[in-house]
Amino acid sequence: MTTLNNLTKFTKKNKIIIFLVLLAILVFSLRIGKVSTMSCDPDLAGIAYTGMGINDGKVPYLDISGGKPPLSFFTVGLLFNLFGTEFSVIYAASIFLMIISAILIFFTVKEIINFETGCLASILYAFFSATESVRGACPNYTTWMILPLIASLYFLVMGEKYNKKTFYFLSGIFIAASIFTKQSALLNLAGILGYFIIAFVINKKRDLKKLLHKLFYFFFGLLIFLLPFLIYFGSAGALSELAPNVIPSASYTLSSEAFSKISNQTSSTPFEPVLEIMRKTKMNVMPNILLYILAASFLIFPLGKRFRKSILSSNLILLALIWTVFSYLGVCAGGRFYHHYFVQIIPGLTIMAALTIYYLYKTIKKFKTGIIAALIVLTLVQPTIGIFGPESGLHRNHTITTQLYETGEYVKSITGPEDKIYVWGYAPEIYVYSERFSPTKHYKFWIVVKSLDTQNIVKENVNDSIFLDHLKNDKPSVFISTNKRMDPGLDEYERLNNFIKENYIFDRNISNIEVYTLK
DSSP alpha helix (H) spans, 236-367: 239-254, 256-260, 272-285, 289-300, 305-313, 315-332, 346-363
pLDDT tens figures, 129-165: 888 777 766 777 788 889 999 999 999 999 999 999 9
Per-residue confidence (pLDDT) for residue 448, from 0 to 100: 55
pLDDT tens figures, 16-36: 999 999 999 999 988 876 665
Residue 240: pLDDT band with limits 50, 70, 90 = confident
What's the N-to-C CA distance of the chain in angstroms? 82
Please determine, for residue 327, whether its predicted confidence score (pLDDT) is greater than 70: yes
Q: Could you tell me the pTM of the whole model?
A: 0.86
Arithmetic mean of pLDDT over the chain: 80
Half-sphere exposure of residue 397: CA atoms within 13 angstroms, side-chain side: 6
**CB-CB contact of 506 with 485 (8 Å):** no
pLDDT tens figures, 67-88: 788 899 999 999 999 998 888 8
**CB-CB contact of 185 with 330 (8 Å):** yes
Please determine, for residue 303, whether its predicted confidence score (pLDDT) is greater than 60: no
- Backbone φ and ψ for 504, nearest 5 degrees, come out as -130, 155
Return d(Cα 27, Cα 305) in angstroms, integer: 36
Of residues 46 and 393, the one with the higher pLDDT is: 46
Nearest to 418 by CA among 474, 367, 470: 474
pLDDT tens figures, 278-297: 666 666 777 788 888 888 88
Residue 195: pLDDT band with limits 50, 70, 90 = very high
Residue 254: pLDDT band with limits 50, 70, 90 = low
Q: At what angle do helices 346-363 and 289-300 cross, to 10 degrees?
A: 60
357 class by beta-carbon count within 10 Å (0-12 exposed, 13-18 middle, 19+ buried): buried
Please determine, for residue 396, whether its predicted confidence score (pLDDT) is greater than 60: no
